[in-house]
């Protein structure tokens, strides 16, 4: 990593309540720093339990430039590893998911068990110790059918997050879900611009005419979905009580979990506001339960409506390039073409993500300008952006302080 004192100076210059100094959005050194200090030190929502079925499932993904693999053995236990061969480092499993009983490196065919142990390495000398060359473990946690991994030696404390997410997410029965569709978008923008855009709806009324039908864009300021005394919310609360669904909100240092009502008469985040899947994920017949928004710093948000859960994840791939992955989960018994249609299921987020990509790219082009000056966030409409940026700066400065003693 480059000289941390240069990066510390950038954070020292930032003005609270304002967008970041230019170099934090477009310097290659900061990109490298973010991969290690942020993506290397956080919990990442890797995907869902249903993507790694028992027995012998695996899922591989790349976090920044670190391939990781998550496995589930016959015993049902989840394990996660750096997906880098202990021979000469090749990526063992290509990104994606599937069923395998062994992980074989394509380069020289070293073979690993799903527990990460090296079980075969052809023609190695007698002095070679296979026991010392297993895949390197990383941390993994499972909450209500969602899988989180962390590459940190000591990851952020997880138990409060689990306790807050579990009771709200469990009724969506993600353990009984299947991945109906996933896709990716390459955005020519720094990951922080992608996330700033994803954390506000200040742009939504003009930027997302389709989303505006269902999403309460005027209210989406942050934790202020819940309004005491608002009759709509009181009716919503009664409805949730009747279904046994909890609302939150729970705001943690790196998460937000909250169920909120959609716009009047709308029951799902779809083009027409109606459910996209006939077989609901929650128990019962009532689909009018709003959306559970659960968002994790640094990279993701999900919306769980009665019929589907949609996942959005932003991964930095270069200083000014981010890959956005979107996944849609439906009930495992829902039949494509009968209970749902992929085009209808995915249409709203596809159009929204493309609109957001254009906004991110124009933001990056202007941020690159010789004329760029950090500007003030809207305290009301961009409160979750402020939260994200404050979290980012604090995490970065803690990382720098722990390694150099440079305090903010
Ligand atoms: O965090 C969210 O909910 C995303 C989705 C739509 C707009 N944005 C604020
Ligand atoms: Fe994996 Fe050689 S790098 S077997
Ligand atoms: Fe948007």
309 alpha carbon – ligand 3 mean position (Å) = 18
Asked if the model's pLDDT at residue 191 lies above 90, the reply is yes
Q: What are 97's strand-pairing partners?
A: 59
- State mean pLDDT over 251-255: 97
The whole-number pLDDT of residue 220 equals: 54
The whole-number pLDDT of residue 1 equals: 55
Most ligand 2 atoms within 8 A of CB, residue of 82, 105, 136 to mutate: 105
**Inter-residue contact 49 to 142 (CB < 8 Å):** yes
Asked if the model's pLDDT at residue 140 lies above 60, the reply is yes
* CA-closest candidate to residue 314, choices 199, 225, 164: 199
Q: How far apart are CA 31 and CA 354, in angstroms?
A: 24
Quote the strand ranges of 297-348, DSSP E.
300-304, 309-318, 321-331
The helix (H) or strand (E) run that includes residue 183 is: strand 177-187
What atom in ligand 2 is closest to the CA of residue 92? 1
Most ligand 1 atoms within 8 A of CB, residue of 194, 210, 215 to mutate: 215
Would you state the torsion angle of the CA atoms of residues 280, 282, 288, 290, taken in this order, to the nearest 10 degrees?
Answer: -120
Residue reference for tokens 């500007």:
375
Q: How far apart are CA 64 and CA 67, in angstroms?
A: 8
The whole-number pLDDT of residue 28 equals: 98
The whole-number pLDDT of residue 383 equals: 93
With vertex at residue 227, the alpha carbon angle to CA 221 and CA 232, rounded to the nearest 5 degrees, is 110
* CB contact set of 127 (below 8 Å; sequence gap of 6+): none
Asked if the model's pLDDT at residue 226 lies above 70, the reply is no
Ligand number nearest CA of 135 is 2
Residue reference for tokens 């928004």:
293
Asked if the model's pLDDT at residue 230 lies above 80, the reply is no
203 alpha carbon – ligand 3 mean position (Å) = 7
- State mean pLDDT over 56-64: 96
Residue 261 pLDDT grade (very low, low, confident, very high; cuts 50, 70, 90): very high
Q: What integer best gives the mean pLDDT of the chain?
A: 95
**Inter-residue contact 357 to 185 (CB < 8 Å):** yes
Q: How far is CA 209 from CA 96, 215, 234, 347, 378, in A?
A: 33, 10, 27, 13, 21
Ligand number nearest CA of 305 is 1
% of the chain surpassing 90 pLDDT: 91
ipTM of the complex: 0.95
Q: How far apart are CA 198 and CA 204, in angstroms?
A: 10
* CB contact set of 23 (below 8 Å; sequence gap of 6+): 10, 30
Asked if the model's pLDDT at residue 56 lies above 70, the reply is yes
* CA-closest candidate to residue 97, choices 62, 70, 136: 70
What atom in ligand 2 is closest to the CA of residue 110? 4
Q: How far apart are CA 276 and CA 242, in angstroms?
A: 23
Q: Is 23 touching ligand 2 by the criterion CB < 6 Å?
A: no
């Amino acid at each position: 990593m480059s000289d941390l004192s240069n990066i510390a100076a950038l954070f020292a210059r930032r003005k609270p309540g304002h967008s970041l100094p230019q170099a934090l959005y477009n310097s290659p050194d900061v990109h490298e720093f973010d991969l290690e200090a942020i993506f290397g030190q956080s919990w990442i929502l890797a995907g869902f339990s249903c993507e790694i079925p028992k027995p012998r499932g695996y899922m591989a993904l790349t976090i920044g430039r670190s391939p990781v693999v998550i496995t589930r053995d016959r015993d049902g236990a989840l394990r996660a590893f750096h997906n880098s061969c202990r021979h000469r480092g090749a990526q063992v499993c290509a990104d994606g998911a599937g069923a395998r009983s062994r992980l074989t490196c394509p380069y020289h065919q070293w073979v690993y068990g799903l527990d990460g142990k090296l079980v075969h390495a052809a023609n190695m000398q007698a002095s070679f110790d296979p026991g010392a060359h297993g895949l390197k473990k990383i941390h993994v946690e499972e909450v209500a059918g969602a899988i989180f991994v962390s590459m940190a030696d000591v990851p952020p404390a997880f138990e409060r997050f689990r306790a807050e997410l579990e009771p709200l997410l469990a009724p969506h029965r993600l353990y009984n879900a299947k991945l109906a569709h996933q896709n990716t978008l390459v955005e020519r923008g720094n990951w922080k611009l992608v996330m700033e855009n994803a954390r506000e709806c200040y742009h939504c009324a003009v930027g997302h005419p389709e989303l505006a039908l269902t999403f309460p864009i005027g209210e989406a300021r942050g934790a202020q979905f819940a309004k005491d005394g608002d009759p709509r919310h009181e009716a919503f609360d009664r409805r949730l009580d009747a279904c046994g669904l909890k609302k939150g909100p729970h705001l943690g240092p790196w998460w937000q979990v909250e169920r909120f009502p959609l716009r009047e008469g709308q029951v799902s985040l779809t083009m027409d506001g109606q459910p996209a899947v006939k077989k609901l994920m929650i128990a019962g017949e009532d689909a009018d339960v709003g959306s559970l928004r659960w968002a994790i710093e640094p990279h993701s948000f999900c919306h769980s409506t009665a019929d589907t859960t949609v996942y959005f994840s932003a991964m930095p791939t270069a200083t000014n390039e981010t890959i956005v992955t979107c996944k849609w989960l439906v009930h495992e018994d829902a039949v494509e073409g009968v209970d749902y249609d992929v085009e209808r299921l995915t249409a709203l987020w596809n159009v929204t993500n493309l609109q957001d990509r254009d906004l991110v790219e124009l933001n990056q082009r202007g941020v690159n300008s010789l004329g760029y000056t950090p500007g003030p966030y809207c305290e009301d409409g961009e409160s979750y952006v402020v939260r994200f940026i404050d979290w980012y700066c604090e995490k970065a400065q803690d990382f720098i302080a722990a390694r150099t003693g440079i305090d903010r």
